[in-house]
Structure 1
């Protein structure tokens, strides 16, 4: 009997008990009861709640494989999280109307709280009254500013950057710069789980998924990272690292706990796909970045015959090379399902366009960061696999700080900042190269302008330049709305033209649309002098120009499939001139020559992401491909994989 059927039966039992109690209350005299009045009232209320809850659970869309006890816990957990979402959403609404007042209050509370720490004493926090004093007396900082204090924490000292000691050292991916170690406190973890996630879920239901059911499962394509222990009581690992009780995995995700602890990425992705495929009512697929979504669907495209056979047989293929105990644990959760396997096989044989909606008809969105450099993956996903399904990024998060929550519907990419939880400052993008530029407060920014974000947070970062450039798209009440633009270093700048990655990507896509059978998978670029130094070319051989490296879907190993590579490069150059007046001016004055376009073999960027993850001891779900190359090893990697004409 399915879990929902058990709960439906339980609901009717509670209904019978409730009616019996009401009948006794109606027909009996007050003196005839042996139970106190207050106890009878509590009993009636409990019966009413249990009856309504049980019958509600029995009619909600639910995963057919979930047992009754887990369904009940899912329902109660969702009621708790929904209550938190309502409370904190209303609180955020009030705070956004008094943005600068909330900013000042947050900063003063933080400085007072941290004034007794080693850092607070060194910087004389107790003398800083108001944001003006704070900005005058405390410099803008980079990660190197905190390294002496981090060494003290690693040495076992407490009350250094924050009160007590951190819960974790979060590690950045290091793929867009040097890998950094960031203090993460217990307060931040609790704030994320109990405030930001409930707010995000509430927005998700109101604006994007009105038919959302808490009893359906989500496939989280996750690869576990084993934590390090640099000192007693503190773990070290990426922010994406989960250490949840098994029960919470079962409440949220389609993959059993044993699959959520796999540390090999290919094994983990296969197992996530297997348990996702067996569930026709899967509600969403979740990854950190859209690039990981693309990688997941590529693996599905390659491995579907094996996956379908595993669904049919109720097993995990030996070709995955799982540990024996893990394999046994996972197979206990599987049952042979020839009917579902036949359905899947029929759909896969039709092709992979819009495959998501065809095999999971209840799915109305996918979740993952699709802004900035990830927009290329959203585009190729829509062309190849997901059709018009939106990719939703609920939260603007980083290892250093959680900056905002999504504003509006699924197609929006702007985020509401949190006035009461982070102190924000903004550097106009034209001043980013300065060491200590003047900053603007949240109320002083201009809609439509680009700024480098500076944060002060609860985890010991003060006036910290995290390196993100954002666009202020407008205001929600009196609070800025931010849209991610690019990293500070991800611009091509040979003569002061400062061409960001978003312009390069737009030019590439505009040119490629002329070739109906080709689609952009991913790209990166470099300045010609960087390529010259890496490859040893002479000045005469290489003029000043941009070098673009691109992977195109539909070009299978031979450039002959493309009519004319030089023509495509010229089209990109012309599009770039149209999109950037600064680049066009450099071209007109012969400061820059036509760009060089290099196409690379299929799967090059997927392999590059594996290379990046191996270097950072992390997972590809955390890494971001740098859009401006300056590393010789990375340049050589791409040059060895370029297509020959």
Structure 2
């Protein structure tokens, strides 16, 4: 697939084309999911075939699968007869095994160290350590991901009632991050580096991929990148979103950031309304206080005017601003998102794992008519691993075409080289550390994510509807996020996870409520105090009074106006 296939206009923009009985998901289910292990083995063969001549592979004597050996008579490379032989001969790895190779790529500009594919970006991540990690991204990695975007849309629309599907082109709101291309750090041979969320901005302005992505944003992408202040960028993007009445989806990557956008709407709707009615961002005290670039403000004002003219110009802007004030003044009313955008079909943010603590609050903002769905893809700097199984669950399908999967039993994660299981071998009710072999050159890489194997796929009401064939559903595991290995607290060897802490805090909150202390938890952080005579955990809580929870009231910890 071409990368441009990712944004095939006639399918991405018109959702009713997804809601057929013979859509993209049906094909993906029958050809990929029903043959997950076979497909995943083929993915491994292709990865090794592509990268076996790279330095990391040569240094570790990592060969090919016999099924992917070259047919030339002079080939003497001894390959692996099976996946089991590959696992037997090749050790599990962590980032420290790649650090020297990535630093040689970054600082010396060396090529063909981890992959034979051209590297187009280095994802930067500190992970659970203070040392920066550089994870290469290749064009073929994006090519593997491209068709899955369509499949994910098919799953979302199949999970929604047909009456909710918009018949016209969608207006999508997704809070984005970015910066001008010249602002990126660069490797020795000029490859951009930065967070995964900034990847699109790293592409040159002439990129067709970037141009198509830009057509899906309300705020022109090049203007968004010129805003080098994150507070102002968030505010401006919200003004553009609230200036139009017919947004179909509202997406913010992480649930704390999602709630942050709602707090801005609740607290600053007056200034948002003034910016819209006047088509002038100088109506914002934040922007005035920061004495922002007047030339950029003129561009933003012109872009806002251009959007609102389509709806009726001055009269529309005044009516829209008045409507926003009217709805935002209803402090304790549920469904502010649905009231601001009556055509809203769904909202999306991370709701799995420890992010589940925010679900109740976010659903209140959605109201009863708008479903809250988990992030559509389970992804990280290292790759794309899962796709949402339905809007009614936080579970994911594993994606056997993107990486080769292995799994370490939770009780074995402390071992340096534990035995691993394959997709076909994991069982519901168990937790596993994810291990992946990727197209950009990670081999048997311990990701550090612990996932739950929740159940096998079935014809269940809370999952996407399945095609009638095959009649007998194969063993297709579903997973959900549990926690990160590095996030475990460990004072006495008890291995306390984020989920354990969250469960204890939620029980404590319930006890407080029974005792007449009406608070809810907004967020928390914790660490192990090891230098005391008796070690213990220190927990910092952010609380809010229950009766004021749905208003713009003060929380139990101080917060600045914009976060």
Q: TM-score range by the shorter chain?
A: 0.7 to 0.9
Q: Of 382, 386, 393, which residue of structure 1 is paired with 2:375?
A: 393
2:149 corresponds in structure 1 to 197
- Per-residue CA shift, 1:198-219, capped at 9, x if unaligned? 1111111111374344612122
**Match in the other structure for 2:295:** 325
Cα 1:89–1:173 shift into 2, 3 Å: farther
The separation in 1 between residues aligned to 2:420 and 2:57, in whole angstroms, is: 22
Give the CA deviation at 1:604: 8.4
Structure 1 residues 265 and 604, CA gap change in structure 2 (3 angstroms): closer
Identify the residue that residue 454 of structure 1 maps to in structure 2.
435
Alignment of 1:389-538 (within 5 A): 389=370, 390-408=372-390, 410-476=391-457, 477-513=474-510, 515=513, 517-529=518-530, 533=531, 538=532
Equivalent residues of 2:488, 2:498 under 8 A apart: yes
Distance 1:386 1:366 in 2: 7
Q: 2:441 is paired with a residue of what secondary structure?
A: coil
Which has the larger Rg? 1
Please tell me whether residue 117 in structure 1 is matched to residue 72 in structure 2: no
| Aligned position for 1:311 | 276
Q: Counterparts of 2:253 and 2:281 in 1: how far apart (Å)?
A: 25
In structure 1, the partner of 2:311 is none
Residue 334 (structure 1) aligned to one of 304, 321, 331:
304
Task: Output one character per residue of 1:40-79: Cα deviation in whole Å (capped at 9) or x when no partner.
Answer: xxxxxxxxxxxxxxxxxxxxxxxxxxxxxxxxx9557647
TM-score, with structure 2 as normaliser:
0.79
Alignment of 1:3-402 (within 5 A): 75=10, 78=13, 86-87=23-24, 90-124=27-61, 125-126=63-64, 127-129=78-80, 130-154=82-106, 155-172=108-125, 174=127, 178-192=131-145, 194-208=146-160, 210=162, 211-213=164-166, 215-225=169-179, 226-241=183-198, 242-243=200-201, 247-261=211-225, 262-317=227-282, 319=285, 320=287, 321-335=291-305, 336=314, 337-351=317-331, 353-383=334-364, 385-388=365-368, 389=370, 390-402=372-384
> What is the aligned counterpart of 1:548 among 539, 545, 548?
539
- Contact in 1 for aligned 2:431/2:450 (Cα 8 Å): yes
Q: Is the 8 A contact 2:28 2:151 kept in 1?
A: no
Q: Deviations over 1:101-139 (max 9, x none)?
A: 222222122212212222222233143412112111111
Give 1:251 shift.
Answer: 2.8
Cα deviation code 1:405-445 (max 9, x no counterpart): 0002x230111111233111111111111111111111111
Q: Structure 1 stretch 511-520 or stretch 322-331: which is displaced more? A: 511-520
Q: 1:604 to 1:268 in 2, by over 3 A?
A: closer
Q: How well do the aligned residues superpose, as a CA RMSD in angstroms?
A: 2.9
CA distance 1:209–1:111, shift in 2 (3 Å) = farther
Q: Is the 8 A contact 2:251 2:347 kept in 1?
A: yes
Residue 558 of structure 2 corresponds to residue 602 of structure 1: yes
For residues 546 and 559 of structure 2, the distance between their equivalents in structure 1, rounded to whole angstroms, comes to 11
**Which secondary structure does the structure 1 equivalent of 2:298 belong to?**
helix
CA–CA separation in structure 1 for the residues paired with 2:177 and 2:236: 11
Asked whether the 8 Å contact 1:380–1:519 carries over to 2, the reply is no
- Per the alignment, do residues 413 and 149 of structure 1 end up closer, same or farther by CA in structure 2, a change over 3 Å counting? same
Find the residue that maps to 1:350 and give its secondary structure: coil
Q: What is the CA distance between 1:317 and its match in structure 2?
A: 2.3
The 1-side partners of 2:152 and 2:177 are apart by 23
Instruction: Provide the C-alpha distance between the structure 1 equivalents of 2:126 and 2:556, rounded to a whole number of angstroms.
Output: 24
Report what 1:560 is aligned to: none
Which consecutive unaligned segments of at least 5 residues does structure 2 have? 1-7, 65-77, 306-313, 458-473, 548-554
CA separation of 1:602/1:327 partners in 2, compared to 1, >3 Å: closer, same or farther?
Answer: same
Structure 1, 102-111 or 507-516: larger mean CA deviation: 507-516
Quickly say closer, same or farther: Cα 1:248–1:323, change in 2 above 3 A: farther
Q: Report the Cα distance in structure 1 between the residues aligned to 2:39 and 2:273, rounded to whole angstroms.
A: 54
CA distance in 2, matches of 1:605, 1:322: 18
Deviation per residue, 1:490-522 (Å, 9 max, x gap): 223333332221122122223324527422111
Shift of 1:524: 1.7
The number of residue pairs the alignment matches comes to 480
Aligned to 1:63: none
| 5+ long unaligned stretches in structure 1 | 1-72, 557-598, 608-645
